[in-house]
Amino acid sequence: MNTNDVIEKRLARLRVVMATSKDARSLNTERSYVSHVKQFLWFCAYCPQVKSAGPEELARLYVESRARGWSESSMRVFRNALVFYYRWVVEMPLGDLGSWAMAKRAKRLPVWLPDQEMRALLGCMKGVTRLMAEVDYGSGLRSHELASLRWKDLDFAENQIVVRQGKGAKDRVTFLPAACVPALLEHKERMRALWEMDRRNGRAGVEVPSGKFDGREWPWFWVWAAAGESVDPRSGIVRRHHVHRSTLGKAIGEAVRIWGGDKRVTVHALRHSFATEMLMDGVPIHELKELMGHAHISTTEIYAHCLPRLTARRGSPMDRAPVVGNVVRFPGAVVMGDERRVG
């Protein structure tokens, strides 16, 4: 078996493990891991030290020779891919990788829009993408969570959205904005007609997380179903998928151009704006953590950037009552006209 066959066999094993593990990664993460591991394996195949060096040393040599221009984010993805590969495919967990593996993302303030500016931006949008943006701003969903919503995840009776298998494979509950319900019900009728057409035409059901579910059933249908069909990148089945996550991003970019704002607004700015407004409205930060689906409270604390505006809006408690006669003169001070003498 030649080198190419060996590498492709290991990559195939990596794909199977990633798709079937209980902590299955998204398709984008799977592609990133496979790409990084493939380049690393080809490097090892021609590295002179491959017979004498351990995997940790080979990883260091690879980083020193190939990753000089990488960002901290790329370095972190490579580290995670390598750890996953050795733990689950080679079944030999890595030891200490060295200082290069400790790259941390610099903390930056999130880009957000005050409510008035956000509504002005939404006013420059129309159609389904505007409804998507309104739901996102009102619920704080991540872009992939928004795009992959199914009708069974919307609870119109309680005005709640149940996020299934969010980041970290965690479920959570957040708001379903009541202001969006009428438009969502109209959109539901259109999606129902699209689903019925697929059933009449004998189309394959939508992707479902397990074989025990039936993708042809209405509750599993996408809230934001794509207009056409495409090939499932994993199974190869031609079926209807949800709209691509970049759809909303492109619509927001066009709306920003029309609106004329001077901020770089992305889809994630809707989530940031939701979190900021919730915190400013007095929602406890530990409750906001659950709404946002953060694993650690330190991630939610980044929204403390809004505190200066919060103090400007509410004011100090000392300023809520008039101040009368609270001037205490210095003992011995004698006031004569405009002059003050201290005895």
* Average pLDDT value over all residues in the chain: 83
In this prediction, residue 172 carries a pLDDT of 92
Judged by average pLDDT, the poorest of 100-104, 279-283, 311-315 is 311-315
Q: Is the pLDDT of residue 218 over 80?
A: yes
Confidence of residue 315 (pLDDT cuts 50, 70, 90): very low
Whether residue 242 lies in the annotated active site: no
**pLDDT per position as a tens digit, 252-261:** 999 999 998 7
**Do 50 and 58 meet the contact criterion of CB atoms below 8 Å apart?**
yes
In this prediction, residue 248 carries a pLDDT of 95
**Do 151 and 187 meet the contact criterion of CB atoms below 8 Å apart?**
no
In this prediction, residue 210 carries a pLDDT of 79
In this prediction, residue 343 carries a pLDDT of 44
Side chain identity, residue 93: P
Extents of the domains making up the chain: 3-102, 115-304
* Active-site residue (options: 25, 240, 271, 289): 271
* Active-site residue (options: 36, 142, 241, 272): 142
Could you give the percent of the chain with pLDDT greater than 90? 41
- The more confident residue out of 104 and 73 is 73
pTM for this predicted structure? 0.74
In this prediction, residue 192 carries a pLDDT of 97
In this prediction, residue 316 carries a pLDDT of 45
Q: Is the pLDDT of residue 61 over 80?
A: yes
Distance of CA 230 to the CA centre of its chain: 24
**Dist CA 102 CA 235 (whole Å):** 36
* Active-site residue (options: 62, 85, 86, 303): 303
Beta bridge partners of 155: 160
Task: Compute the average pLDDT of residues 36-55.
Answer: 86
Q: Which residues contact 51 (CB under 8 A, 6 or more apart)?
A: none
Task: Compute the average pLDDT of residues 108-123.
Answer: 88
Task: Compute the average pLDDT of residues 88-113.
Answer: 75
Whether residue 172 lies in the annotated active site: no
In this prediction, residue 25 carries a pLDDT of 64
**pLDDT per position as a tens digit, 223-245:** 999 999 999 877 789 999 999 98
**Dist CA 343 CA 331 (whole Å):** 9
Whether residue 244 lies in the annotated active site: no
CATH superfamily of 115-304: Intergrase catalytic core (1.10.443.10)
In this prediction, residue 341 carries a pLDDT of 44
Confidence of residue 317 (pLDDT cuts 50, 70, 90): low
**Dist CA 293 CA 142 (whole Å):** 9
Whether residue 289 lies in the annotated active site: no
**Dist CA 110 CA 103 (whole Å):** 20
Alpha carbon separation from 250 to 51, 65, 134, 255, 257 (Å, rounded): 49, 37, 15, 9, 11
* Active-site residue (options: 167, 172, 187, 203): 167
Whether residue 268 lies in the annotated active site: yes
- The more confident residue out of 61 and 161 is 161
Could you give the percent of the chain with pLDDT greater than 70? 83
In this prediction, residue 263 carries a pLDDT of 82
Whether residue 303 lies in the annotated active site: yes
